[in-house]
A and B are shown apart, each in its own frame.
Chain A
Amino acid sequence: MSDARRIEPPESEVAKPFWDATREQRLVLQWCTDCGNAIFYPREVCPSCLRADGLEWRDASGRGEVYAVSVQHAAQVPMPAYETPYAVAVVELEEGVRMLSTIVGTDPEAVVVGQAVTVAWEPLSDGRNLPMFQPS
């Protein structure tokens, strides 16, 4: 990963379907068909019923809203992707789960809680894409 522009995520075994889908810029979420809940982050069992047999992957809407946001004025690590200032947010997806992500395609200082956002993608060095969000 010598050409990595940012800290790149390891790929856990359970999340392989998630990362594989990002290669086609598709956002997928794990669901428990028994509980009817979307699950994030991906897990070996449903965190509500602790069962594995009801788990399946479904395409996600890619739509959500900003639940909380913080503009970073100094980077955690000096890599090209972390050009300050940049907005890191907790995004709540329509499916009800929350993910930490980066808000792109807008002035970072203009991002507000409650703002509607849609998934956007940044290429990683190994062909995967990192899900980010931009104003809808």
Chain B
Amino acid sequence: MTSLRGAAAIVGVADDASPSGVLDLHGRALEAAMIREALDDAGLTIADVDGICYAGQGAGMGSLGLAEFLGIRPRYTDSTMTGGSSYEVYAEHAAAAIAAGLCDVVICVYASTPQGDRARAKARGGQGGGRRPMMMGGPNPNAEWEMPHGLRQPMGSYALAASRHMAMYGTTPEQLAHIAVSTRKWATLNPKARFQDPITIDDVLSSKMMSSPLHLLDCCLVTDGAGAFVMTSADRAKSLRKAPVYVLGAATCHDHSMISQMPDLATTAGAVSGPAAFAQAGVKPGDVDVLMGYDSFTITQLLHFEDLGFCAKGEGGAFVESTDTGPGGTLPTNTNGGGLSYTHPGMYGMFLLVEAVRQLRGEAGARQVDGCEVAVAHGSGGVLSCMSTTVLGTEAVLS
């Protein structure tokens, strides 16, 4: 076995977010709701589940606590933590585990409610939110070598990448703003999106400067959100409720943890994971009908266009000026409205997969891309640290 192509399929998905930015449920209740909805979508029940992927909430042992809560005894478990790209990594690992016969039905869930948590903490009389402890014991290079300088995180790290890209290739703030404007166009078609009013390039450039050269509207949201997916073998997928969405290719690469240690601030590890996943899938960038790229910041998506091969290195700025990535465009990108305008609860990678599946099934409503056969979910975790690419496709592509 040398390839994952067609061995496993996503058969159930769910996600939730709200224009208010706040969800009613939180914690295990929200996770359980997403799991149930994704299993219903697949026509499966919790009794079918024998694998679990879960990044955990706060301290604790990730998947152990969730599996205990759900009353399941999984024989495949994964609590790999690569930040926002964890969900693409889980898709890759789950497909490999299913292909190897380690398990049959894998559930993966994510829920995070930073807005609701703040309100609940305030209602309890606390300060709200609360800062995470800087030192958790053990080595912490970040505390020793970066934090003292007061770089705003995470946006400052991405600002440094944008600075480098601009210096190397002449990329402009206007070009980055194109990405925010185009993504917002998609959000106008998503009734669950946090922001649904169109914006202009001037709106982006006149929004508050956060960490130069990134403005407020170059930055993702902070909202409540949750999602889940269910994956099973290609054989079993055929008998389930919805048309299977096959994993055609998957690959991951990470090249640093702290931004100062990134080998080239203008090139991500997606330049490794992307081509590897595309080769496994047997597709080229030109075959991609929908691109779901983790848009934590506008610069992040610009780097994805280059590193995945949609344009050459350094040409991302010109590419976003000349390519329509919005509704009706030639490269529909972040069709749910993205982390920039739909939702961003902290680790957004789950929503990339859910939207890709909906597009491939023809379930995306007003934002449906006609004839969608190949979709890519490209996750980014840490501070441009871990890139994981999942290429998904319909039965038509597989055969």
Check if A and B associate.
Answer: yes
Residues of chain A having any CB pair with chain B under 8 Å: 6-12, 15, 41, 67-77, 79, 81-82, 86, 88-90, 98-102, 109, 112-114, 130
- B164's partner among A67, A77, A81 (CB-CB below 8 A) is A67
Q: A68-B265, A100-B259 in contact; A12/B139 too (CB < 8 A)?
A: yes
Query: Is the beta-carbon distance between B260 and A9 smaller than 8 angstroms?
Result: no
Q: For A113, what are the chain B residues with a Cβ–Cβ distance below 8 Å? A: 163-164, 166-167
Query: Is the beta-carbon distance between A72 and B260 smaller than 8 angstroms?
Result: no
Beta-carbon contacts under 8 Å, B316-357 to A: none
CB of B159 within 8 Å of the partner chain: yes
Query: Is the beta-carbon distance between A12 and B265 smaller than 8 angstroms?
Result: no
Query: Is the beta-carbon distance between A73 and B149 smaller than 8 angstroms?
Result: no
Q: For A112, what are the chain B residues with a Cβ–Cβ distance below 8 Å? A: 167
Q: CA separation between A93 and B152, bound complex, in Å? A: 23
Residues of chain B having any CB pair with chain A under 8 Å: 134-135, 139-141, 143-153, 156, 159-164, 166-167, 208-214, 258-261, 265
Query: Is the beta-carbon distance between B260 and A90 smaller than 8 angstroms?
Result: yes
Number of A-B contacts (CB under 8 A): 106
Query: Is the beta-carbon distance between A72 and B265 smaller than 8 angstroms?
Result: no
Query: Is the beta-carbon distance between B150 and A70 smaller than 8 angstroms?
Result: no
Query: Is the beta-carbon distance between B147 and A7 smaller than 8 angstroms?
Result: yes
A13 to chain B, nearest CB (A): 9
Query: Is the beta-carbon distance between A70 and B151 smaller than 8 angstroms?
Result: yes
Q: CA separation between A86 and B260, bound complex, in Å? A: 17
Closest to A86 in B: B150
Q: CA separation between A57 and B258, bound complex, in Å? A: 23
B172 to chain A, nearest CB (A): 14
Q: For A98, what are the chain B residues with a Cβ–Cβ distance below 8 Å? A: 260-261
Query: Is the beta-carbon distance between A41 and B141 smaller than 8 angstroms?
Result: yes
Given contacts A70-B160, A74-B210, 9 further A-B contacts (CB under 8 A): A68-B160, A70-B156, A72-B150, A73-B210, A88-B149, A90-B160, A90-B259, A99-B260, A113-B163
Q: For B161, what are the chain A residues with a Cβ–Cβ distance below 8 Å? A: 68
Q: A68-B161, A76-B151, A98-B261 in contact; A15/B144 too (CB < 8 A)?
A: yes
Query: Is the beta-carbon distance between A81 and B145 smaller than 8 angstroms?
Result: no
Closest to A122 in B: B148
Query: Is the beta-carbon distance between A72 and B151 smaller than 8 angstroms?
Result: yes
Q: CA separation between A123 and B224, bound complex, in Å? A: 41
Q: For B134, what are the chain A residues with a Cβ–Cβ distance below 8 Å? A: 7
Query: Is the beta-carbon distance between B260 and A69 smaller than 8 angstroms?
Result: no
A117 to chain B, nearest CB (A): 14
Q: For A15, what are the chain B residues with a Cβ–Cβ distance below 8 Å? A: 144
- B150's partner among A9, A41, A75, A90 (CB-CB below 8 A) is A75
From B143, B152, B153, name the one whose CB has the most chain A CB atoms within 10 angstroms.
B152
Q: CA separation between A17 and B395, bound complex, in Å? A: 61
Can you sample 21 A-B contacts with CB below 8 Å?
A9-B143, A10-B144, A68-B161, A70-B156, A70-B211, A71-B211, A72-B151, A72-B156, A73-B211, A73-B212, A74-B152, A76-B150, A76-B151, A88-B151, A88-B160, A100-B145, A100-B149, A100-B151, A100-B258, A100-B259, A109-B212
Q: For A82, what are the chain B residues with a Cβ–Cβ distance below 8 Å? A: 150
Q: For A8, what are the chain B residues with a Cβ–Cβ distance below 8 Å? A: 148
Q: A9-B143, A70-B156 in contact; A130/B163 too (CB < 8 A)?
A: no
Query: Is the beta-carbon distance between A130 and B151 smaller than 8 angstroms?
Result: no
Q: For B167, what are the chain A residues with a Cβ–Cβ distance below 8 Å? A: 68, 112-114
Q: A41-B145, A100-B145 in contact; A7/B259 too (CB < 8 A)?
A: no
Query: Is the beta-carbon distance between B143 and A10 smaller than 8 angstroms?
Result: yes
Closest to A87 in B: B212
Query: Is the beta-carbon distance between B147 and A88 smaller than 8 angstroms?
Result: no
Query: Is the beta-carbon distance between B141 and A88 smaller than 8 angstroms?
Result: no
Query: Is the beta-carbon distance between A90 and B148 smaller than 8 angstroms?
Result: no
Closest 7 CB pairs of A and B: A113-B167, A70-B159, A100-B260, A68-B164, A71-B212, A68-B160, A82-B150
Query: Is the beta-carbon distance between A69 and B160 smaller than 8 angstroms?
Result: yes
From B162, B214, B260, name the one whose CB has the most chain A CB atoms within 10 angstroms.
B260
Q: A68-B163, A114-B167 in contact; A90/B265 too (CB < 8 A)?
A: yes
Closest to B211 in A: A70
Q: CA separation between A15 and B141, bound complex, in Å? A: 10
Query: Is the beta-carbon distance between B150 and A102 smaller than 8 angstroms?
Result: yes
Closest to B140 in A: A10
Q: CA separation between A101 and B147, bound complex, in Å? A: 10
